[in-house]
Amino acid sequence: MNSPITIPLVNLDRSDAPLGVVSMPVPGDADYSVAVEGRASQSVPVGFWPRSERAPGGPKRPRRTLLFFENTPDRPPEVHLIAGSAQEPYETGAPWRVEVVALEDVFRHRDEQYWHYLKQPCQVRLHAPLPRGGHAAFSLAIRNEFGLHLWQFVQAQKLWSGPLVEAWRIGGHIYTGDESPLPMSRLNDVNDILAYPDNTVAASVYLLLFANGTAQVTAHWINGRIYGAVGNQKGVPVVVFAGSAGLDFSASDHLSSPAHPASLEESDDGAVWQPFADTRIVIRHEPTGDGTTAVDVEVQGSAEGLVQGAARSVTWHMGLGDAAPSIARCIAPPDWYARCCEFAPFPIELVDGEFDRLGRVCAEALLRNSVTGRFT
């Protein structure tokens, strides 16, 4: 067997977390198995070297892999890559139970009183595998002048799974307008019935569910109404929680500040988390006449909600049972990225001090070739 290549990882945060993850570059000169020495780990390829299959249509060599592992705070993790031994398929561990539950299901055809009326607000419920157990539930929502609007007609899809972690994609839409039925008496007041109910925001989450009971959730709210009469969507994205899971919102701390804080409050619908104070998109700061203060120049309408083509994303962690709701993020040393063709289309062998010089050269090249004020 070939001797392993050992890559020490650098912990970016949460070194005491029970789990760790690194986006690991992999060389293209051979097939490699990728694992963390002495710990349970799972490697998931997310990119491949072009033209690296040994036979037409065959599997390609991974260029980058997401490597998940059990973290040991008292010993920094080391990645072992062994050439000539392609990654073996994983056996799936005890799966989580992921449910999409309709909190209400209204399907009413047009009659003498009301226009067609469909409504199905949903909640995602997570059940950790035994013996950990524990459960949690949440819904993506928009909060505006009409109230709290939960996502509707939600669908779930498992993407991949292994002994340490499994991934899910779940999504639906959020209707941001007045959710009361449209009476037939008002139908003639609506100029375009096709545009009337078109106040929608696409909402989705990507879940990483770990065997120890930890869950990482990344949520997206997207206003894709780029064309048509209904464009900007009023309201601020929120998440509604139920259940007894431990919550950690630190991954989204950068979205708020003391001047514009996030909030977590109890309501009749559950605990409502608003990750950011508002949806403003600031283009620039313009000084006033006296030169001592600055005025924010914003995208028109962005203070009221998601404007056409805008989106918001947040990440949080949950711990079910006695699992800690945290994951340590790690990176490899700079010379490993250089060796894996991350800085140039060929491997670079860095010696002491060359990474700083390479960074300056790259920055100068970017600035020299950048064009501002127009698309190129």
Measured CA to CA, the distance from residue 203 to residue 376 in angstroms comes to: 31
Element (H, E) at 335: helix 334-339
Burial of 59 (0-12, 13-18, 19+ CB in 10 A): middle
Contacts of 118 (CB under 8 A, 6+ apart): 106, 107, 108
**Positive or negative CA dihedral for 252, 254, 255, 258?**
positive
Measured CA to CA, the distance from residue 173 to residue 197 in angstroms comes to: 12
User: pTM (2 decimals)?
Assistant: 0.84
Tokens for 183, please give them. 């009476």
Cβ–Cβ under 8 Å, residues 120 and 239: no
The residue ranges of the chain whose pLDDT is under 70 are: 1-2, 14, 85-94, 108-112, 114-116, 131-132, 183-198, 226-230, 289, 291-293, 352-353, 371-376
Tokens for 262, please give them. 């996030």
Measured CA to CA, the distance from residue 24 to residue 124 in angstroms comes to: 31
Cβ–Cβ under 8 Å, residues 233 and 305: yes
Please tell me the predicted confidence (pLDDT) of residue 142: 95
Tokens for 99, please give them. 């449910």
In DSSP terms, 106 is beta-bridged to 119
What are the distances in angstroms from CA 151 to CA 203, 204, 236, 278? Answer: 7, 9, 13, 19
DSSP labels, 4-16: PEEEE-EE-S-TT
